[in-house]
Amino acid sequence: MSIDQDAPAIPRVVLEVDAGLQFEIEQFLYLEARLLDERRFDEWLLLFADDIHYWMPTRYNRLLRELDKEISGPGEVANFDEDKRSLGQRVFRINTGMAWAEDPPSRTRHLVCNVWVRPAEAADEYDVQSAFLTYRNRGDTEVDVWAGRRDDVLRRVGPGTWQIARRKITIDQSTILSKNLSVFF
């Protein structure tokens, strides 16, 4: 058996930030998941910068040759396309008990893993990619599971203090079978 001289090289791990910063950002993401799972939505909302763009584009089934059209672009149809004000309105509505999709409230578990951090163009900002699994149970029989990827821009606003400036949520499902999308990702 011969070795192919043109075979691709084995990928190497390249650290783009130091281990301390990686750990700090991972802990921030775990805190966010905990706040959501404990229904501490007012505290969760404080994790977002005033200029947040919280966006979940739609996903389509496409042929291999059309994969560049698999996910909707900015300005196209989206499951969420929100700013701080609209996120605040959703939190307020949940807290009033008038959100029918959350009464009885959902029980959620947000799992975050495969966190990859790299410096962004702006000072004190980092591009953070993570995989997520969000489980929701509501009532006696309603169960939803969403898996996907989050592309965040995190902004350092003080020592050990972070805010989310951008979030793009790409779910793996092209057809959402859930009755609603009343949970946060």
Of all residues in the chain, the percent with pLDDT exceeding 70 is 97
Read off the amino acid at residue 113: C
What average pLDDT score do residues 118-142 get?
Answer: 95
More reliable by pLDDT, 117 or 12: 117
Query: Is the distance from CB of 52 to CB of 83 less than 8 angstroms?
Result: yes
Look over the chain and give the mean of its residue pLDDT values, rounded to a whole number.
93
More reliable by pLDDT, 33 or 64: 33
pLDDT for residue 61 is more than 60? yes
Euclidean distance between the first and the last CA atom of the chain, given in angstroms as a whole number? 49
pLDDT digits (tens, 9 = 90+) for 72-127: 888 889 999 999 999 999 999 999 988 888 888 999 999 999 999 999 999 999 99
pLDDT digits (tens, 9 = 90+) for 75-87: 889 999 999 999 9
CATH number, domain 19-171, options 3.30.70.920, 3.40.50.720, 3.40.50.10860, 3.10.450.50: 3.10.450.50
Burial of 183 (0-12, 13-18, 19+ CB in 10 A): buried
Angle at CA of residue 30, ends 182 and 112, nearest 5°: 70
What average pLDDT score do residues 134-160 get?
Answer: 95
Write down the pLDDT at residue 116. 97
Whether omega for the bond prior to residue 74 falls within 30 degrees of 0, making it cis, is: no
What average pLDDT score do residues 61-73 get?
Answer: 86
pLDDT for residue 4 is more than 80? no
Q: Note the pTM of the prediction, 2 decimals.
A: 0.90
Of all residues in the chain, the percent with pLDDT exceeding 90 is 70
Element (H, E) at 145: strand 142-158
